[in-house]
Amino acid sequence: MATIFCNGTTFTDVRGVFLDKDGTLADVATYLARLGHIQAQLMEQQQPGTYDMTLQVLGFTADGLSASGLLAVGSRQETIAGVAAAAAMVGCPWIRAVELATVALSAADRQCSPKTSHTPLLPGVLGLLQRFRKAGLKIVMVSADIQSNLENFVDCYELSAYFDGLQGVSIEHPSKTEPSFLQQACHSLGILPAQGLVIGDAASDFCMAQGTKGFIGFLGGWQPPVSEQDIVCAATTALPCAFTKDVDQIQLGE
């Protein structure tokens, strides 16, 4: 058991931490911006008139890519559905739209491959992992990304010594917000959700944290930084929460 402090909030008797990958551990902003524009270009080639609509659906605004938009926080299937909806809105039949979106996203992935080399560790992450490991905590990476990308990320940055489990989305667990997602991550460690702490940068992470020890929202993985309002869902609970732009403010005590 460990006690974790962050910006005046204390989380006691923590046995495990569940760390989001993109935007929390990994710097993905530049990669995702390029990926989204390529996806929109490929959709435009297949279904003229979809370029601007696809960018809007993916979460691009006049200020760039939103940290709370579909491309930043959505799963693969959610992104396919969103891009398909953009095509459907300009007259493409739905089944055809899903096919076009699936092809476009796969082709964009290939053009931006390998993802891992374009998504380096954010500042302070290695030190955070070292603190958690020294305290004897169970550590799981949780992500809306596919399992193979989690494995490649760990291999590329030589992080295998710091993680007890990797939990990406799959057919069985298609979304981080599904109760089965966190339950599976806990089962692999032999702990209960109520013994764990979630650290992430999105509303999906906040939702996943319901029923756990609490939630730390990391705001510093994007420029401009994510806001608390981007993360905290409308249906707020009494879940203990803290927010920080600097992972060095996440500390452990006796």
To which residue do tokens 């055809």 refer?
96
From 33-42, 190-199, 208-217, 236-245, the region with the lowest mean pLDDT: 236-245
Higher pLDDT: 82 or 236? It is 82
Sheet-wide strand order for 9-14: 9-14, 2-6, 250-253
Q: pLDDT category, 6, cuts 50, 70, 90?
A: very high
**Predicted pLDDT at 170:** 83
Q: Report the alpha-carbon distance of residue 141 to residue 157 in Å, rounded.
A: 14
**Predicted pLDDT at 82:** 97
Q: pLDDT category, 216, cuts 50, 70, 90?
A: very high
To which residue do tokens 């339950």 refer?
183
Q: pLDDT category, 30, cuts 50, 70, 90?
A: very high
Spans of all domains in the chain: 2-28+120-253, 29-116
Chain mean position to CA 58 = 15
Residue 53, pLDDT above cutoff 90: yes
Mean pLDDT of 240-249: 95
Contacts of 167 (CB under 8 A, 6+ apart): 18, 140, 141, 142, 143, 150, 173, 181, 184, 185, 188
**116-139 pLDDT tens trace:** 999 999 999 999 999 999 999 999
Q: Report the alpha-carbon distance of residue 28 to residue 122 in Å, rounded.
A: 9
Q: Report the alpha-carbon distance of residue 63 to residue 243 in Å, rounded.
A: 23
**Predicted pLDDT at 96:** 97
Q: Report the alpha-carbon distance of residue 63 to residue 49 in Å, rounded.
A: 22
Q: How buried is residue 158: exposed, middle or buried, by Cβ count under 10 Å (0-12/13-18/19+)?
A: exposed
Strand partners, 116: none
Q: pLDDT category, 235, cuts 50, 70, 90?
A: low
> Is residue 73 within 8 Å of residue 144, measured between CB atoms?
yes
Specify the CATH number for 2-28+120-253; select among 3.20.20.70, 1.10.1530.10, 1.10.274.10, 3.40.50.1000. Answer: 3.40.50.1000
Residue 197, pLDDT above cutoff 90: yes
**88-106 pLDDT tens trace:** 999 999 999 999 999 999 9
Q: pLDDT category, 237, cuts 50, 70, 90?
A: low
